């Protein structure tokens, strides 16, 4: 079909090459440089790619609407022919057969002799010397003949109508050609025998942006030589069988030069190739990823010495499954700044090698995001961050107690994490909190503790109140049993919190706070404070900065038991300074007599929602005018709150 296309182009256009160069598929838009395309009519008005031609034939056989071309059957006629029919037709018309990609039959032009067709058999020995071959030709020879590789052999990417054999060339000349790519190779004895005979570093590959090797093709890697200034966008190896990396495993360590690589991914047995690879000393990798679902996939790499595999600078590092055990082997640049570091270990054997080493022996440098789940949390004491590290996000999550079985035995305040903007500990991972040390000048955007059962905070309950130094925190959120950790926390004396929220639907969630002394938990300045359900009973324990100005203060209690503790407090005993918006809902309205506002407070809005008389029963007991609210811009009594207006002392202002 390629030959037929060239015939039509020559008939119709003065510059056939230019027409073909600019052609695209009328259906999908793919360019001629990317796929094979063919005219949709004999007048060559449009082209279609080989993927879209079957669709055109199903829909009627033509997409050309030019007058006279509606019934053109070119596509149907040519696409239905076999390869042999095309070849025979061309020869009958005195054409010359040029099939650069079909090289089971190789035509050799021998000087002073007539050209003859030579059939290459498996017994044929093919010597390569001072020659450049297309990738398709090289792999055909590797699978079907006996190859002997001599000096100055290189490989380039194949392309339609281009020679698949060229004179030997240097690296600069090779870089002018299309980069080679490598097909998958199934189990082929001939292929593996040829690869085993080839000297390492014997085939020049030049510059490539992407190199992906799978199955037996991976074994070609030690034989290839990349340009010394190569910059690869992506390098990937995937081997589910040990045979696929047999040649690499026997190569010397640090013998395969990759140059600069932006994304490197090794899976399964291919991970064992890592000690053999060498990256450019100035390499900056966007992502480095290892993944191993079985222990045998890392059988070789775990034999490597610790701190023996240089990675340089890495922005994102991900180790999954048994590949996590490769972590002690890796060395990062001392000035490395990592965007994200992730270990995925759902089995304790996934980190067995990490657990053998000393605490503080894995240097990660600076890390912006660190997320650990499951068993990898136990590796935390082994990690060391840069002393000036500022982390955007640090997250630990452990659904099972065994996921933190090791870290809970670490000393309190023994794991340094510097400055952290967002810290989230979930489930059993909350028990790691006493082990962490934050920078004394840390300013946290958000601190979140989630504990759904009391065992999630059993380690926190053991420590003294006021022993966990958090520094400055803008948003503090404690959920369920994690609320009981509040007395253990210490905030900076000049802390300004944007939001403080507690929500407890179970009395156990606040059992520790209720037994704390009144006015013992220093919150500093708080702009928005929200307490719901049993958490309202924590109110007498809290202390706000004397100059605090709160944008919003909200209490909500749908049941009377939610305020059972706070209504025992003395009236006018809980200082809240200046408040712009005060909202008390349901039974929480009964907390109003307990509050004290700044004498110069100007409230934007007071919202009291009382749907039955029990919601205001405590207010109705006090004297008229005894609740001093100061100046208020907006207050609209509704439902039962209309009955307490006389209890309030306030001044409406514009």
Q: What is the pLDDT of residues 413-451, one digit of tens each?
A: 888 888 999 999 999 999 999 999 998 889 999 999 999
Burial class, 303, CB count within 10 angstroms (exposed 0-12 / middle 13-18 / buried 19+): exposed
Mean pLDDT computed over 230-247: 88
What's the confidence (pLDDT) of residue 183? 66
DSSP conformational letter for 439: -
Same domain, 84 and 128: no
> Which residue has better confidence, 165 or 511?
511
Same domain, 224 and 324: no
Confidence of residue 394 (pLDDT cuts 50, 70, 90): very high
What's the confidence (pLDDT) of residue 31? 72
Confidence of residue 554 (pLDDT cuts 50, 70, 90): very high
pLDDT at residue 167 greater than cutoff 80: no
Residue-by-residue DSSP string for 203-266: EEEE--SEEEEEBGGGGGGGGEEE-TT-EESEEEEEESSGGGGHHHHTSPTT-EEEEEESEEEE
> Domain boundary residue among 386, 414, 433?
386
Q: Buried b vs exposed e over 311-324: b needs ≥16 C-beta within 10 Å?
A: bbbbbbbbbbbbbb
Confidence of residue 150 (pLDDT cuts 50, 70, 90): confident
Same domain, 123 and 244: yes
Same domain, 165 and 267: yes
Task: Please tell me the total number of residues recorded for the chain in this structure.
Answer: 654
Same domain, 78 and 130: no
Q: At what angle do helices 83-92 and 2-12 cross, to 10 degrees?
A: 50
513-541 pLDDT, tens digit each: 888 888 889 999 999 999 999 999 999 99
Q: Which residues contact 476 (CB under 8 A, 6 or more apart)?
A: 446, 447, 497, 499, 500, 501
Q: Which residues contact 644 (CB under 8 A, 6 or more apart)?
A: 608, 610, 616, 619, 620, 637
For residue 459, tell me if it sits in a domain: no
Mean pLDDT computed over 332-342: 92
Same domain, 236 and 336: no
Q: Which residues contact 642 (CB under 8 A, 6 or more apart)?
A: none
For residue 483, tell me if it sits in a domain: no
> Domain boundary residue among 35, 63, 92?
92
User: Which residues are 393's β-sheet partners?
Assistant: 369
Count how many Cα atoms sit within 13 Å of the Cα of residue 60 in the half-sphere of its side chain: 8
Separation between Cα atoms, residue 342 and residue 324, nearest integer Å: 9
Same domain, 301 and 212: no
pLDDT at residue 244 greater than cutoff 70: yes
What's the confidence (pLDDT) of residue 481? 92
For residue 646, tell me if it sits in a domain: yes
User: Where is average pLDDT lowest: 168-182, 489-503, 559-573?
Assistant: 168-182
User: Which helix (H) or strand (E) is 131 found in, with range?
Assistant: strand 131-134
Same domain, 292 and 220: no
Distance of CA 260 to the CA centre of its chain: 21
What's the confidence (pLDDT) of residue 61? 64
Q: Which residues contact 520 (CB under 8 A, 6 or more apart)?
A: 465, 487, 541, 543
Same domain, 82 and 149: no
pLDDT at residue 88 greater than cutoff 70: no
What's the confidence (pLDDT) of residue 199? 87
pTM for this prediction:
0.70
- Helical H segments across 322-366, by residue range: 352-356
Pair 352, 327: CB distance under 8 Å: no
> Domain boundary residue among 92, 122, 151?
92
If we measure between CA atoms, which residue out of 499, 518, 571, 561 comes closest to residue 536?
561
Phi first, then psi: give them for residue 286, nearest 5 degrees.
Answer: -70, -40
Helix (H, G, I), strand (E, B) or coil at 639: helix
Separation between Cα atoms, residue 470 and residue 232, nearest integer Å: 43
For residue 269, tell me if it sits in a domain: yes
Distance of CA 177 to the CA centre of its chain: 34
What's the confidence (pLDDT) of residue 249? 87
Mean pLDDT computed over 644-653: 86
Domain span at residue 360 reads 281-386
What's the confidence (pLDDT) of residue 25? 85
Separation between Cα atoms, residue 252 and residue 472, nearest integer Å: 52
pLDDT at residue 622 greater than cutoff 60: yes
Same domain, 109 and 191: yes
If we measure between CA atoms, which residue out of 36, 58, 61, 59 comes closest to residue 49?
36
For residue 375, tell me if it sits in a domain: yes
What's the confidence (pLDDT) of residue 106? 40
Please give the angle made by the CA atoms of 270, 272 and 278, to the nearest 5 degrees: 95
Average pLDDT, the chain: 84
Number of domains in the chain: 4
pLDDT at residue 172 greater than cutoff 70: no
pLDDT at residue 117 greater than cutoff 70: no
For residue 49, tell me if it sits in a domain: yes
User: Which helix (H) or strand (E) is 490 found in, with range?
Assistant: strand 489-491
What's the confidence (pLDDT) of residue 163? 67
Mean pLDDT computed over 239-262: 88
9-31 pLDDT, tens digit each: 888 887 777 777 778 888 877 77
Same domain, 251 and 107: yes
Confidence of residue 109 (pLDDT cuts 50, 70, 90): very low
Please give the angle made by the CA atoms of 457, 462 and 468, to the nearest 5 degrees: 80
For residue 165, tell me if it sits in a domain: yes
For residue 450, tell me if it sits in a domain: no
* CA distances from residue 299 to 248, 269, 303, 306, 327 in whole angstroms, order as listed: 14, 9, 7, 15, 14
Same domain, 84 and 150: no
What's the confidence (pLDDT) of residue 34? 54
Using the Cα atoms of residue 170, residue 175, residue 178 and residue 182 in order, give the sign of their dihedral: positive
Please give the angle made by the CA atoms of 274, 279 and 283, to the nearest 5 degrees: 130
Q: Please name the residue that has the structure tokens 């996000």.
A: 393
pLDDT at residue 220 greater than cutoff 90: no
Mean pLDDT computed over 191-202: 85
pLDDT at residue 71 greater than cutoff 70: yes
Confidence of residue 213 (pLDDT cuts 50, 70, 90): confident
Pair 326, 319: CB distance under 8 Å: yes
Confidence of residue 78 (pLDDT cuts 50, 70, 90): confident
Strands 146-149 and 116-119: unpaired
36-51 pLDDT, tens digit each: 788 888 888 888 887 7
Confidence of residue 297 (pLDDT cuts 50, 70, 90): very high
């Amino acid at each position: 079909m390629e030959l037929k296309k060239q015939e039509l182009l020559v008939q119709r256009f003065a510059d056939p090459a230019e027409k073909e160069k600019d052609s695209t598929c009328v259906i999908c838009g793919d360019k001629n440089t990317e796929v094979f395309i063919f005219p949709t009519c004999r007048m060559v008005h449009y082209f279609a790619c080989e993927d879209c031609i079957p669709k055109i034939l199903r829909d009627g056989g033509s997409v050309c609407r030019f007058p006279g071309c509606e019934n053109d059957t070119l596509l149907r006629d040519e696409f239905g022919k076999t390869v042999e029919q095309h070849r025979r037709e061309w020869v009958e018309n005195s054409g010359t057969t040029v099939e650069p990609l079909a090289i089971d039959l190789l035509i050799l032009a021998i000087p002073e002799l007539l050209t003859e067709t030579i059939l290459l058999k498996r017994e044929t020995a093919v010597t390569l010397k001072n020659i450049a071959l297309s990738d398709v030709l090289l792999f055909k020879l590797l699978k079907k003949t006996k190859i002997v590789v001599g000096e100055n052999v290189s490989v380039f990417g194949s392309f339609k109508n281009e020679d698949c054999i060229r004179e030997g060339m240097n690296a600069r000349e090779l870089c002018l050609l299309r980069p080679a790519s490598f097909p998958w190779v199934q189990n082929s004895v001939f292929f593996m025998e040829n690869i085993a005979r080839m000297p390492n570093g014997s085939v020049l590959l030049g510059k490539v942006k992407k190199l992906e090797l799978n199955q037996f093709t991976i074994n070609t890697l030690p034989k290839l030589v990349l340009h010394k200034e190569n910059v690869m966008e992506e390098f990937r190896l995937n081997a589910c069988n040990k045979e696929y990396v047999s040649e690499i495993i026997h190569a010397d360590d640090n013998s395969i030069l990759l140059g600069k690589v932006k994304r490197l991914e090794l899976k399964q047995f291919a991970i064992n190739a890592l000690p053999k690879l060498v990256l450019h000393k100035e390499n900056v990798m966007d992502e480095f990823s290892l993944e191993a679902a079985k222990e045998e996939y890392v059988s070789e790499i775990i034999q490597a010495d610790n701190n023996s595999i240089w990675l340089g600078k890495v922005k994102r590092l991900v180790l999954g499954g048994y590949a996590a055990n490769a972590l002690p082997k890796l060395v990062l640049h001392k000035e490395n700044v990592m965007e994200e570091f992730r270990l995925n270990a759902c089995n304790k054997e996934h980190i067995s090698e990490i657990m053998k080493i000393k605490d503080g022996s894995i240097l990660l440098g600076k890390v912006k995001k660190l997320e650990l789940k499951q068993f990898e949390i136990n590796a935390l004491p082994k990690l060391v961050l840069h002393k000036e590290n500022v982390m955007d996000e640090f997250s630990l999550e452990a659904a099972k107690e065994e996921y933190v079985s090791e870290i809970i035995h670490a000393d309190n305040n023994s794991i340094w994490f510097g400055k952290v903007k967002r810290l989230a500990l979930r489930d059993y991972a909350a028990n790691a909190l006493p082990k962490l040390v934050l920078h004394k000048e840390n300013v946290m955007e958000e601190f979140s503790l989630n504990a759904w059962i009391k065992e999630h905070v059993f380690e926190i309950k053991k420590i003294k109140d006021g022993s966990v130094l958090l520094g400055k925190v803008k948003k503090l959120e404690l959920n369920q049993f994690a609320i009981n950790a509040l007395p253990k926390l210490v905030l900076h004396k000049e802390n300004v919190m944007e939001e403080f929220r507690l929500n407890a639907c179970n009395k156990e969630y606040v059992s520790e706070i209720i037994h704390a002394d009144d006015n013992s938990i220093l919150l500093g300045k708080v702009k928005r404070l929200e307490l719901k359900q049993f958490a309202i009973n924590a109110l007498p324990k809290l202390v706000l900065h004397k100059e605090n100005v709160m944008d919003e203060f909200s209490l909500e209690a749908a049941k009377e038991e939610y305020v059972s503790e706070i209504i025992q407090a003395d009236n006018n005993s809980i200082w809240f300074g200046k408040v712009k918006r005060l909202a008390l809902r349901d039974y929480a309205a009964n907390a109003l007599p307990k509050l004290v506002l700044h004498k110069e407070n100007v409230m934007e809005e007071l919202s009291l929602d009382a749907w039955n008389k029990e919601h205001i029963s405590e207010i109705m007991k006090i004297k008229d005018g005894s609740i001093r609210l100061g100046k208020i811009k907006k207050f609209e009594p509704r439902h039962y709150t209309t009955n307490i207006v006389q209890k309030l002392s306030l001044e409406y202002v514009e």
